[in-house]
Amino acid sequence: MKPTTTSADWIARSLRSVWHPCTQMQHHEEVPLIAVSHAKGPWLYDHEGQRYLDGISSWWVNLFGHANPRINAALKDQLDKLEHAMLAGFTHEPVIELSEQLAALTGQQLGHAFYASDGASAVEIALKMSFHYWRNAGHADKQEFVCLQGSYHGETVGALGVTDVALFKDAYGPLLRAARTVTSPDARNAVDGESAQDVALRAAKDVEALFAERADKIAAIIVEPLVQCATGMAMHDPLYLQRLRELCDKYHVHLIADEIAVGCGRTGTFFACEQAAIWPDFMCLSKGISGGYLPLSLVLTTDKVYEGFYSEDITRGFLHSHSYTGNALACRAALATLQIFRDDDVLNKNRETATRLMLELAPLLDHKCVTHFRQRGMILAFDAVEPDTQRASTFARRFFTSAVENELLLRPIGRTVYLMPPYVLDEEEIVGLAARTRKVFEKVIAE
């Protein structure tokens, strides 16, 4: 009989051959690697059957649970029809239907979809399209990009140029084309009794000053609407987005909404921008759009931008491509995902789930080591008060390890603990997730 391969075997082999992302590999001498054997709903299982509640949706991608029967069925059906065909010179049903459905979700404001695979590629596309649009329009001087303090738009060289997270960016500084950075509207920056709206308006003034000075050189400003996730779930008031839209219109600067993490219902509306009642010139989507199944990203844009490239002259066209652009399987997973949104009244159900989670986490509100308890849709976060810098620097790792011991997958960002679970938690899972989060926090803060 073939001996069963244990988690320990897989882990040893992985550490020898797989270079894991966003990881100082030496940390795995202390922090356990987990070998996932299979997954179902919000649960990941290792080879011994030990389970972990995926409290961060496997890096914010999974919406309707792992091995979702409806997405699985759609993919199995698609697999027998067409797995992939190149999208230059060819087209197919899943990519057409997905583009049409997304355009409809924007009320036809963003009626043209350009596809890629990962989030960072979508960001690259939006940046290049904006620059090229202005060049085609006779404004070749508009070459600069503006991003927000604490912004995160991905790890490729262009996306890192508009990212402001020192840990990811600094080592590559000499490679990057620096963007201009404006004040973050993070509501935690409130001073002297300011409201979140006051902070938003103050931050927008910074944008206005920059635009007034050099809008003729600026192609676009890129923003993560409502929640800057990777910097630590920094949340801002929708008023900021309204002001950005006004300023972009006034000064002829493109607005790029990076909804890679916050789109697909994560903040309570399908698109985060809806809460500000605005549409950007470019919207980047990825992560949840395929239900967390397959790498799929896209940029939605306006008729105006599309027409700026439409010409007899090939060089005025957008000559960008990726081999897997518009992959049929990934698009079919996205169609199944959108169907679930329509069938299951997802946004309303999420409102109930988020309210229940808040209620169950409420005891933390008065905890002396908790500050800035906050929530937007299906993102809940709080910051640990940890004055000892040595302990603060290890907080995230210690929390992760303790969470794993309590059947949870949670990865704090610095001292920010957050929950961003799949949309399929039942009552027992909601109560369990909140109770264990509290238990882990109490333990780690008291260590």
Binding site for ligand PLP (CB under 6 A): 118-120, 123, 152-154, 224, 229-230, 258, 260-261, 286
How far apart are the C-alpha atoms of 318 and 381, rounded to whole Å?
Answer: 40
Strand partners, 45: 38, 51
User: For residues 308 and 326, which CB has a smaller minimum distance to ligand PLP in the complex?
Assistant: 326
How far apart are the C-alpha atoms of 363 and 87, rounded to whole Å?
Answer: 52
Is residue 102 within 8 A of residue 346, CB to CB? The reply is no
Helices 328-344 and 69-79: crossing angle in degrees, nearest 10, is: 150
Is 258 within any annotated ligand binding site? yes
Is 195 within any annotated ligand binding site? no
Least Å from the CB of residue 119 to ligand PLP? 2
Is 99 within any annotated ligand binding site? no
Is 8 within any annotated ligand binding site? no
User: For residues 196 and 233, which CB has a smaller minimum distance to ligand PLP in the complex?
Assistant: 233
User: For residues 215 and 379, which CB has a smaller minimum distance to ligand PLP in the complex?
Assistant: 379
HEC string for 324-387: CCCCHHHHHHHHHHHHHHHHHCHHHHHHHHHHHHHHHHHHHHHCCCEEEEEEECCEEEEEECCC
Least Å from the CB of residue 138 to ligand PLP? 31
Least Å from the CB of residue 447 to ligand PLP? 29
Least Å from the CB of residue 153 to ligand PLP? 5
Is 205 within any annotated ligand binding site? no
Least Å from the CB of residue 334 to ligand PLP? 14
Is 76 within any annotated ligand binding site? no
* 102 class by beta-carbon count within 10 Å (0-12 exposed, 13-18 middle, 19+ buried): buried
User: For residues 228 and 402, which CB has a smaller minimum distance to ligand PLP in the complex?
Assistant: 228
How far apart are the C-alpha atoms of 381 and 409, rounded to whole Å?
Answer: 15
Is 19 within any annotated ligand binding site? no
Task: Tell me the residue length of the chain.
Answer: 447
Residues whose CB is less than 8 angstroms from the CB of residue 131 and which lie 6 or more positions away in sequence, other chains included: 142, 143, 219, 220
User: For residues 229 and 253, which CB has a smaller minimum distance to ligand PLP in the complex?
Assistant: 229
User: For residues 159 and 196, which CB has a smaller minimum distance to ligand PLP in the complex?
Assistant: 159
How far apart are the C-alpha atoms of 144 and 219, rounded to whole Å?
Answer: 6
User: For residues 203 and 229, which CB has a smaller minimum distance to ligand PLP in the complex?
Assistant: 229
Nearest residue to ligand PLP by CB is 119
**Greatest CA span in the chain, whole angstroms?**
74
Least Å from the CB of residue 57 to ligand PLP? 11
How far apart are the C-alpha atoms of 348 and 148, rounded to whole Å?
Answer: 31
Is 14 within any annotated ligand binding site? no
Least Å from the CB of residue 233 to ligand PLP? 11
Indicate the annotated binding residues for substrate: 59, 152, 287, 321, 411
Indicate the annotated binding residues: 59, 119-120, 152, 258, 287, 321-323, 411
